[in-house]
Amino acid sequence: LVRSLSTSASRQAAIKHVTVIGGGLMGTGITQVAAQSGHNVTMCDVSDDIVQKGLARIQDSLKRVVKKKYKDDPTAGQKFFDSTMENIRIDTNVERVAASTDLVIEAIIENLDIKQKLFSSLDKVAPQHTIFASNTSSLPIKDIASTCERQDRFGGLHFFNPVPVMKLVEVVRFGATSNETFQSLTDFGQAVGKTTVSCKDTPGFIVNRLLVPYMMEAVRMLERGDASAKDIDVAMKLGAGYPMGPFELTDYVGIDTCKFIMDGWHELDPDQPLFKPSELVNKLVAEGKLGMKSGEGFYSYK
């Protein structure tokens, strides 16, 4: 027991500085929960304007957390707010930041080529011990890692939107991920306050493999004219206890994101009826109706 405690303590002590790449929806959330739990975090994106906007989004979200957690003690709440923000740095030069970091979490655009290029350049500058992780929703971790030498120090850390609220992290390992890396990623997920589950590198891991086909089945139900979007949403909320109906959730995640995921899986497995493209989804994306983020999707948010 003594040995296992000290091993786990040294593993946790190992991840002090975290680099989050991507200051969008997910990157800001991951930065926030890592900083809230006492890690030093540097959030990187391609422009100063984007990182500044990301920082403002973190402040807004952190205020909501403080309001809830410290409603009876505003002084302690302000202290928590200040110390969390002090743990966050922003930068636009990922290579400089990665040269002295323990863990890189990538949360950039869902594009294999771009993710591979990023990791390949970081692999050359990051210290030997640094672990690389991707927050990809649907791409194989093995493919993202393929341009790196450090295959054993590579895995998946899949967070959920909104990150400060959702309690799960999927920890993903592929064939080359070492036991130490997998354990460090699991320890880190728990250190940021999440429950972790262990996943293999299969399409969609656990949650998205079940959730995205379910969302697309709801679209197919609508396309067949079986029920309205509103009625399907009400039915799943009140009849199955989901916090959002499938159309609300698709709008929340982004219709383009869901389309991207399904198109990729359809290419991998064209005979799987659950992965079939949907005309309605294609039409909405072509019209720029991407859900909440664009002001309109299945519902209007204007």
Active site positions, annotated: 137, 158, 170, 208
Is residue 50 part of the contact set for ligand NAD (CB under 6 A)? yes
User: Which range, of 39-47, 66-74, 147-155, 263-271, touches ligand NAD by CB under 6 A?
Assistant: 39-47
Q: SS in 3 state form for 193-228?
A: CCEEEEEECCCCCCHHHHHHHHHHHHHHHHHHCCCC
- Which residues, listed in sequence order, are joined to residue 103 by a DSSP beta bridge? 18, 131
Q: Which of 9, 114, 165, 280 binds ligand NAD (CB under 6 A)?
A: 114
Is residue 101 part of the contact set for ligand NAD (CB under 6 A)? no
Residue with tokens 């002084």: 75
Q: Which of 77, 204, 254, 297 binds ligand NAD (CB under 6 A)?
A: 254
Q: Which is nearer to ligand CAA, 168 or 227 (CB)?
A: 168
* Residue 24 binding: pick among ligand CAA, ligand NAD, none (C-beta 5-8 Å cut-off by kind): ligand NAD
Is residue 109 part of the contact set for ligand NAD (CB under 6 A)? yes
Query: Where on the chain is the footprint of ligand CAA (CB under 6 A)?
Result: 61, 64-65, 68, 137, 160-162, 164-166, 208, 211, 243-244, 249, 253, 257
Is residue 257 part of the contact set for ligand NAD (CB under 6 A)? yes
Which residues lie below 8 Å from residue 199, measured CB to CB, with a gap of 6+? 156, 158, 170, 171, 172, 173, 205, 206
Distance CA 111, CA 119 (A): 12
User: Which range, of 4-12, 57-65, 249-257, 274-282, touches ligand NAD by CB under 6 A?
Assistant: 249-257
Is residue 23 part of the contact set for ligand NAD (CB under 6 A)? yes
Helix (H) or strand (E) holding 266, with range, is helix 255-268
- What are the φ/ψ torsions at residue 214 (nearest 5 degrees)? -65, -45
- 8 Å CB contact between 154 and 133: yes
CA neighbor of 15 nearest in space, from 119, 129, 91: 129
Distance CA 134, CA 170 (A): 11
Residues between 134 and 153 with contacts to ligand NAD, criterion CB under 6 A: 135-137
Is residue 2 part of the contact set for ligand NAD (CB under 6 A)? no
Q: Supply the minimum distance, in Å, between the C-beta of residue 208 and ligand CAA.
A: 5
Distance CA 120, CA 112 (A): 12
User: Which range, of 10-18, 25-33, 58-66, 279-287, touches ligand NAD by CB under 6 A?
Assistant: 25-33
* Residue 22 binding: pick among ligand NAD, ligand CAA, none (C-beta 5-8 Å cut-off by kind): ligand NAD
CA neighbor of 205 nearest in space, from 259, 169, 175: 169
Is residue 169 part of the contact set for ligand NAD (CB under 6 A)? no
| Chain centre distance of CA 38 | 20
The CB-nearest residue to ligand NAD is 24
- 8 Å CB contact between 64 and 109: no
Is residue 24 part of the contact set for ligand NAD (CB under 6 A)? yes
Q: Which is nearer to ligand NAD, 23 or 245 (CB)?
A: 23
CA neighbor of 46 nearest in space, from 24, 17, 18, 19: 24
Is residue 25 part of the contact set for ligand NAD (CB under 6 A)? yes
Judged by the rule CB under 6 A, the positions of this chain that interact with ligand NAD are 21-27, 44-46, 50, 94, 107-110, 114, 118, 135-137, 159, 161, 253-254, 257
